């Protein structure tokens, strides 16, 4: 998405629009490019990828916050972060994170939604706030890639079960 074009591929000296990708990631990337253009930063191969690099940094920070929510002891938190980074190096993510792909933004939204769902289950204060934020970020992640619909559906089913069990049907009112 560049210069107000639709998402597309460059074929035979023209840009042909494609409709097999979800529009959320190109929209977010296009807004980021407009932000760069507002500050008169030229878009080249390096500045074009700054969006994904910043998303990876935010993803690592959100994973740190997830493990901080899960584990109160510092030893468990550091160990789990090290295991996460070690297994991340073996996955396909390490080969494709620098490309302009929607998986990084989808993972970021999924991890943030998962963190808020854990806060909803474990905290006694602001549960309605955490429930709404969990569903918001789970919903945003499903608009990025079809894989996240499968991943998020199991989390949403469990979160709905916990919301109904804890609050009966009253908590479903906040999701409308």
pLDDT, tens digit, 9 for 90 and up, residues 14-52: 656 666 667 788 788 888 888 888 888 887 777 777 888
Alpha-carbon distance of 60 to 155, in angstroms, equals 21
Which range is least confidently modeled, 22-26, 113-117, 159-163?
22-26
- From residue 131, alpha-carbon distances to 98, 143, 169 in Å are 32, 19, 13
- How many CA within 13 A on the CB side of residue 129? 5
Contacts of residue 98, defined as CB under 8 A and 6 or more positions apart, other chains included, come to 49, 52, 53
Alpha-carbon distance of 117 to 131, in angstroms, equals 6
Per-residue DSSP letters for 63-121?
A: HHHHHHHH--SHHHHHHHHHHHHHHHHHSTHHHHTTSS-THHHHHHHHHHHHHHHHHHH
Give the residue carrying structure tokens 């969006």. 51
- For residue 137, pLDDT over 90 is answered with yes
Place 136 in a pLDDT band, splitting at 50, 70 and 90.
Answer: very high
Phi, psi of 134 (to 5 degrees): -60, -45
């Amino acid at each position: 998405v560049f210069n107000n074009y639709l998402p597309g591929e460059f074929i035979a000296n023209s840009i042909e629009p494609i409709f097999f990708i979800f529009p959320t990631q190109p929209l977010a990337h296009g807004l980021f490019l407009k932000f760069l253009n507002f500050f008169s930063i030229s878009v080249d191969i390096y500045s074009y990828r700054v969006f994904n690099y910043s998303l990876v940094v935010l993803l690592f920070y959100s994973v740190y916050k997830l493990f901080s929510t899960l584990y109160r002891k510092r030893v468990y938190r550091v160990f789990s972060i090290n295991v996460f980074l070690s297994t991340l190096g073996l996955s396909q993510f390490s080969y494709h994170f620098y490309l302009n792909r929607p998986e990084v933004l989808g993972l970021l939204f999924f991890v943030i939604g998962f963190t808020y769902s854990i806060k909803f289950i474990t905290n006694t204060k602001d549960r309605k706030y955490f429930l709404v934020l969990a569903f918001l970020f789970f919903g945003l992640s499903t608009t990025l890639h079809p894989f996240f619909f499968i991943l998020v559906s199991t989390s949403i089913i469990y979160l709905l079960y916990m919301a109904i069990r804890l609050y009966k049907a009253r908590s479903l009112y906040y999701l409308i």
